[in-house]
Amino acid sequence: MPIKEGEVSNTFLSHDTYISVAVNDGNEEKTPVHRKILLSALGNNSYNYKTDFRGTPVVVKLTDYIPNATSVFEESKNGEKYLLFVESGGGGRHDHYIKKGTSQVVHGVSVGYDAPERSTINFKTVDGSLKILSAVNGSFYRMSDKFDGFIVKDSLQDLSLLSVHSVAGLKFVIPKGPVQGSYETIAGDKDQNSLAQLEFDVSVGNESKHIILRGGKLSIQSPTTFTIDNLNFRMSYGAMQLQLPFSIKLNDFQLEKYPGSNSPMSFASEVTVIDPNETFDFRIFMNNILNYKGFKFFQSSYSITPQYEQTFLSVTFDFGAQPSPISVIPYCIWI
């Protein structure tokens, strides 16, 4: 449950993940279905939702699950043409495969490969050779013979491969000519890729579509919308937003560090519980849990930026202590 200092909140994210499906025909909507699901990178994952809409059968079937999903480029003879654009923004190497006939924005600069629209930097194919057309002046250094050259604004010039170019604040190299291939989704590093990719076959009667969703634990993504045979769908995967029957205000976030170090020694949240029947203050810190109306709030983590201080509270509900309040029933922000 994230709360910024001085702000009030009564919502938090579920620890469980859900697949949510809503169907309508423009006049009538079936009650949205939110089904809790636990997916694993090992073994088979199953999800099969069957219903009907005014007598028309509707089937939603999970066909693939890729945890920590990331897209990688793979060369193949049958793929489309791409140009590898290698830049060093942010202190490291970054590879960008730009599809022929398109452009990408790289650190705020539009870079195109045979793009029909005007780009700040556009690589053009002329009689089988690569040229560069820049909207601004620049330079390049050819390492093979230590030659320093210039990129002249609005001038179509030969592109020097394996040369370090400096144009529009970007330093980049085109290491080779166009390659053929495509982007594939694979399981990546869990520390860098928190979202999973789920693939479904969705059918209405005899018509079907292949649908891809991205989502994950403690994450809410915008629903994917599509239409099959005059039925409109909204689907999403991830956490549900839950609502408390009361509110919590973060008055002050407090962080203490070890002397001479930036390592946190302890941190705490000074909060106010705001309920229609009562209001009181409480200090949440390690091993000092706020327990109110069956809800337990634990100090989890924090975020401090130049603009704000923010606390993150873990929330659990003790179903054995009290009956579940209606307001805890999950709902989706699909309005």
Strand 121-126 to 109-113 pairing? parallel
Q: For residue 209, what pLDDT is reported?
A: 97
CA distances from 256 to 14, 182, 267, 288, 310 (A): 29, 50, 6, 16, 15
Distance CA 248, CA 291 (A): 12
For the chain, what is the largest distance between any 2 Cα atoms, rounded to a whole number of angstroms?
Answer: 80
Q: Could you count the other beta carbons within 10 Å of the beta carbon of residue 174?
A: 20
- Give the pTM: 0.72
Looking up tokens 């059918």, which residue turns up? 203
Give SS3 for 310: strand
N-term to C-term CA, the chain: 22
DSSP letter for 260, please: T
Looking up tokens 């997916």, which residue turns up? 39
Per-residue pLDDT of the chain (335 residues; tens, 9 = 90+): 999 999 999 999 888 999 999 999 999 999 999 999 999 988 789 999 999 999 999 999 999 999 999 999 999 999 999 999 999 877 788 999 999 999 999 999 999 999 999 999 999 999 999 999 999 999 999 989 999 999 999 999 999 999 999 999 999 999 999 999 999 999 999 888 889 999 999 999 999 999 999 999 888 899 999 999 999 999 999 999 899 999 999 999 999 988 888 888 899 999 999 999 899 999 999 889 999 999 999 999 999 999 999 999 999 887 555 555 544 444 444 43
Q: Which residues contact 146 (CB under 8 A, 6 or more apart)?
A: none
Beta carbons of 181 and 82 less than 8 angstroms apart = yes
Sheet holding 121-126, edge to edge: 102-106, 109-113, 121-126, 129-134, 157-158
Q: For residue 319, what pLDDT is reported?
A: 58
Q: Which amino acid is at 82?
A: Y
Q: For residue 322, what pLDDT is reported?
A: 54
Ordered domains of the chain (ranges, CATH): 2-11+242-328 (no CATH), 20-68+189-239 (no CATH), 72-182 (2.60.200)
Written as six digits, the tokens of 176 are 């080779």
Beta carbons of 218 and 104 less than 8 angstroms apart = no
